[in-house]
Amino acid sequence: MNEIVIKQNIVPNVWLMGIYSPQVAKKAKPGQFVILRVTETGERIPLTIADFDSDKGIVFIIFQVVGKTTSILSTLNIGDSIADFVGPLGMPYEQDSNDKSYLFIAGGLGIPAIYSKVKMLHSQGKDIEIIVGGRSKENIFFEEELRKYCSSLYISTNDGSYGQKGLVTDILTQLLENGKRYDEIFAVGPVLMMKAVVDITKKYGIKTLVSLNPIMVDGTGMCGGCRVKIGNEIKFACVDGPIFNGFEVDFDGLMKRNSYYQDLENLSYKEHKCKIGLGE
């Protein structure tokens, strides 16, 4: 169980893995996530369910090597197993049946989080447009896969090495200023990016959903690590989310909480690299 059956290096430091987990695959829905431990003594990390095949019992995850745990995970190969693979967790993505047109905006590692949602909406005959962005061309992936399920795909890169030079919000602004309107906009990626999207869409009164990834430990709401302020209430992203109304999210508080353990995480990763001989 929890055997790695697919492994692909899709762009530098970003891996796709297919995990054989029939129970998770059977119940998974777009918008949900898993929490895994690579080893029995390892830390728990949440990862978005990028896609799933309930017939074959496979759950697809995509991750970037940014710390000790993801570094260890990237060294595993087909045939190896992950100690714990718990899910599906969180509330699934639900759309209004009356909505016809959608715009998805994804930055960097947010791209996998929109894939299964886009597939589902496409199967329902919805009109879908997508904006994806990254620092450079090597940070753009799943382009061909996404094109199958949308009428328009816009690409931006910070350095201009692919698509339009600039940010995803530059393209969003251009579309709205040119008269484009959507029933729903869904944004996922860096917190600053989601905040910037919401700042724009508020002016036009367009319903905007965001998918949050705060600090998370147990995935049941018991630890309180993933609490976020939504409107005047405290919610737990692992059980109430991870999808929320973007207009109500306290993005400043979220950014502050997400930075709490950054120094410790960086130190742990450096120590790990030293142990395996990679140095700094």
Domain at 74, CATH number: 2.40.30.10
* 77 and 52 in a common domain: yes
199 domain-assigned: yes
Q: Which of 28, 58, 89 delimits the end of a domain?
A: 89
Instruction: Cite the annotated binding site for FAD by residue number.
Output: 62-64
Question: Apex CA 36: angle with CA 35 and CA 39, to 5°?
Answer: 155
257 domain-assigned: no
* 172 and 104 in a common domain: yes
Q: What's the pTM value of the predicted model, to 2 decimals?
A: 0.86
236 domain-assigned: no
Number of domains in the chain: 2
Q: Which residue ranges of the chain lie beneath pLDDT 70?
A: 214, 216-221, 258-280
Give 225-246 pLDDT, tens digit per residue: 778 889 999 988 888 889 999 9
**pLDDT the model gives residue 240:** 87
Task: Give dist(CA 49, CA 160) in Å, integer.
Answer: 30
Q: Which of 141, 173, 204 delimits the end of a domain?
A: 204
* 133 and 186 in a common domain: yes
Instruction: Cite the annotated binding site for [2Fe-2S] cluster by residue number.
Output: 223, 226, 238
Task: Give dist(CA 81, CA 83) in Å, integer.
Answer: 6
70 domain-assigned: yes
19 domain-assigned: yes
53 domain-assigned: yes
Instruction: Cite the annotated binding site by residue number.
Output: 62-64, 223, 226, 238
**pLDDT the model gives residue 278:** 60
* 152 and 85 in a common domain: no
SS3 readout for 120-186? HHHHCCCEEEEEEEECCHHHCCCHHHHHCCCCEEEEEECCCCCCEECCHHHHHHHHHHCCCCCCEEE
* 179 and 164 in a common domain: yes
Q: What are the start-end ranges of the H helices in 5-105?
A: 22-27, 68-75
**pLDDT the model gives residue 266:** 46
215 domain-assigned: no
Q: Which residues, listed in sequence order, are joined to residue 131 by a DSSP beta bridge? A: 105, 154
116 domain-assigned: yes
Boundaries of domain holding 56: 3-89
* 102 and 85 in a common domain: no
CATH number at residue 163: 3.40.50.80
Task: Give dist(CA 278, CA 275) in Å, integer.
Answer: 8
